[in-house]
A and B are shown apart, each in its own frame.
Chain A
Amino acid sequence: MKTLPDLAEKRERREIRGSSGLSARETVLFLLALLLTMLLCISTGSVHLPPEDILRVLSGRILRADLPEQLMKADAILSVRIPRVLCTALEGASLSLAGAAMQGLLKNPLADGSTLGVSSGASLGASLAIALGVTFPGLPFAGTELSAILFAFLSLILVLFLSYRLDSGLSTNTIILIGVIYSMFVSSLMNIVVTFASDKLHSITFWAMGSLASSTLPKAALLSLTLLICGGILFAHTVELNAFAVGEDNARHIGVNVPRVRLLVLITVSALIGICVSIGGSIGFVGLVTPHLVRLITGPNHRRLLPGALFFGAVFLLLSDLIARTLLRPIELPIGVVTNLAGAIVFLVIFSRTRGGRP
Chain B
Amino acid sequence: MGVETNRELLTVSHLSVTLGGREILRDISFSVCEGHWLMVVGPNGAGKTTLVNALTQGIPYSGMAAFEGRDLKKMKPLEIASKIAVLRQRQQAGYAFTVEEIVRLGRYRQRSGLFRSAAGKEGDDRAVEKALQETGLLPLRGQSILKLSGGELQRTFLAQTFCQDPALLILDEPTNHLDLLYQKQIFALLADWLKVPGRAVCSIVHDLSLAKAYGSKALLIDQGRQAAFGPAGEVLTEKELNPVYGMEVGQWMRHMLKMWI
Spell out A's residues near B (CB within 8 Å).
10, 16-19, 104, 107, 109, 169, 236, 239, 242-243, 245-247, 249-250, 252-258, 295, 299-301, 357-359
One digit per residue, 1 when the CB lies within 8 angstroms of any chain A CB and 0 when it does not, for chain B 94-123 equals 111110111011101101001000000000
23 CB-based A-B contacts, threshold 8 Å: A16-B142, A17-B141, A109-B95, A236-B114, A245-B97, A250-B160, A252-B77, A254-B85, A254-B105, A254-B106, A254-B160, A254-B164, A255-B81, A255-B82, A255-B109, A256-B77, A256-B108, A257-B77, A295-B95, A300-B96, A300-B97, A358-B96, A359-B95
> Given the complex of chains A and B, what is the CA–CA distance between A169 and B53 in angstroms?
13
The reply to whether A243 and B105 form a contact with Cβ atoms under 8 Å apart is: yes
The reply to whether A242 and B101 form a contact with Cβ atoms under 8 Å apart is: yes
List CB contacts (< 8 Å) of B75-92 with chain A.
Answer: 76-82, 85-86, 88, 91-92
Q: Which residues of B contact A236 (CB under 8 A)?
A: 114
> Given the complex of chains A and B, what is the CA–CA distance between A243 and B81 in angstroms?
13
Please provide the 10 A-B residue pairs with the shortest distance between their CB atoms, ordered closest to farther: A255-B81, A300-B95, A358-B96, A255-B109, A255-B78, A253-B86, A254-B108, A257-B77, A107-B94, A255-B77
Q: Which residues of B contact A357 (CB under 8 A)?
A: 96, 146
Give the nearest-CB partner of A104 in chain B.
B95
The reply to whether A246 and B81 form a contact with Cβ atoms under 8 Å apart is: no
> Given the complex of chains A and B, what is the CA–CA distance between A242 and B111 in angstroms?
15
Closest CB of chain B to A147's CB: distance in Å?
Answer: 36
The reply to whether A243 and B77 form a contact with Cβ atoms under 8 Å apart is: no
Closest CB of chain B to A216's CB: distance in Å?
Answer: 35
B58 close to chain A: CB less than 8 A: yes
One digit per residue, 1 when the CB lies within 8 angstroms of any chain A CB and 0 when it does not, for chain B 133-176 equals 00000000110101000000000010011001000000000000
> Given the complex of chains A and B, what is the CA–CA distance between A249 and B97 in angstroms?
16
Q: Which residues of A contact B6 (CB under 8 A)?
A: none
Closest CB of chain A to B205's CB: distance in Å?
Answer: 19
> Given the complex of chains A and B, what is the CA–CA distance between A17 and B91 in angstroms?
22
Q: Which residues of A contact B146 (CB under 8 A)?
A: 357-359
Q: Which residues of A contact B111 (CB under 8 A)?
A: 239
Q: Which of B78, B88, B101 contacts A19 (CB 8 A)?
A: B101
Closest CB of chain A to B241's CB: distance in Å?
Answer: 30
Q: Which residues of B contact A169 (CB under 8 A)?
A: 58
The reply to whether B108 and A239 form a contact with Cβ atoms under 8 Å apart is: yes
> Given the complex of chains A and B, what is the CA–CA distance between A258 and B57 in angstroms?
10
B13 close to chain A: CB less than 8 A: no
Closest CB of chain A to B99's CB: distance in Å?
Answer: 10
Closest CB of chain A to B160's CB: distance in Å?
Answer: 7
The reply to whether A255 and B108 form a contact with Cβ atoms under 8 Å apart is: yes
The reply to whether A301 and B105 form a contact with Cβ atoms under 8 Å apart is: no
Q: Which residues of B contact A299 (CB under 8 A)?
A: 96-98
Given contacts A255-B80, A257-B77, A258-B77, contact A249 B160 (CB under 8 A): no
Q: Which residues of A contact B78 (CB under 8 A)?
A: 255, 257
The reply to whether B105 and A239 form a contact with Cβ atoms under 8 Å apart is: yes
One digit per residue, 1 when the CB lies within 8 angstroms of any chain A CB and 0 when it does not, for chain B 18-47 equals 000000000000000000000000000000
Give the nearest-CB partner of B60 in chain A.
A168
The reply to whether B56 and A253 form a contact with Cβ atoms under 8 Å apart is: yes
Closest CB of chain B to A93's CB: distance in Å?
Answer: 21
Please give 5 more A-B residue pairs, beta carbons under 8 A apart, in addition to A19-B101, A239-B108, A300-B96.
A107-B94, A255-B109, A256-B77, A301-B101, A359-B95
Closest CB of chain B to A257's CB: distance in Å?
Answer: 5
Q: Which residues of A contact B57 (CB under 8 A)?
A: 249, 252
Q: Which residues of B contact A256 (CB under 8 A)?
A: 77, 108
The reply to whether A358 and B94 form a contact with Cβ atoms under 8 Å apart is: no
Q: Which residues of A contact B92 (CB under 8 A)?
A: 247
Q: Which of A18, A249, A254 contacts B81 (CB 8 A)?
A: A254
Q: Which residues of A contact B100 (CB under 8 A)?
A: 17, 19
B125 close to chain A: CB less than 8 A: yes
Given contacts A252-B58, A254-B105, A256-B108, contact A246 B97 (CB under 8 A): yes
Give the nearest-CB partner of B76 in chain A.
A257
The reply to whether A10 and B125 form a contact with Cβ atoms under 8 Å apart is: yes
> Given the complex of chains A and B, what is the CA–CA distance between A19 and B56 in angstroms?
28
> Given the complex of chains A and B, what is the CA–CA distance between A22 and B92 in angstroms?
27
Closest CB of chain A to B60's CB: distance in Å?
Answer: 9
Q: Which residues of B contact A252 (CB under 8 A)?
A: 56-58, 77
Give the nearest-CB partner of A301 in chain B.
B101
Give the nearest-CB partner of B170 in chain A.
A253
Q: Which of A247, A252, A254, A300 has the most CB of B within 10 A?
A: A254
Given contacts A254-B108, A255-B82, A258-B77, contact A245 B142 (CB under 8 A): no
> Given the complex of chains A and B, what is the CA–CA distance between A295 and B94 in angstroms?
13
> Given the complex of chains A and B, what is the CA–CA distance between A299 and B98 in angstroms?
9
Closest CB of chain B to A167's CB: distance in Å?
Answer: 12
Closest CB of chain A to B146's CB: distance in Å?
Answer: 7
> Given the complex of chains A and B, what is the CA–CA distance between A1 and B82 in angstroms?
27
Q: Which residues of A contact B102 (CB under 8 A)?
A: 246
The reply to whether A359 and B97 form a contact with Cβ atoms under 8 Å apart is: no
Closest CB of chain A to B48's CB: distance in Å?
Answer: 16
The reply to whether A301 and B97 form a contact with Cβ atoms under 8 Å apart is: yes
Q: Which residues of A contact B79 (CB under 8 A)?
A: 255
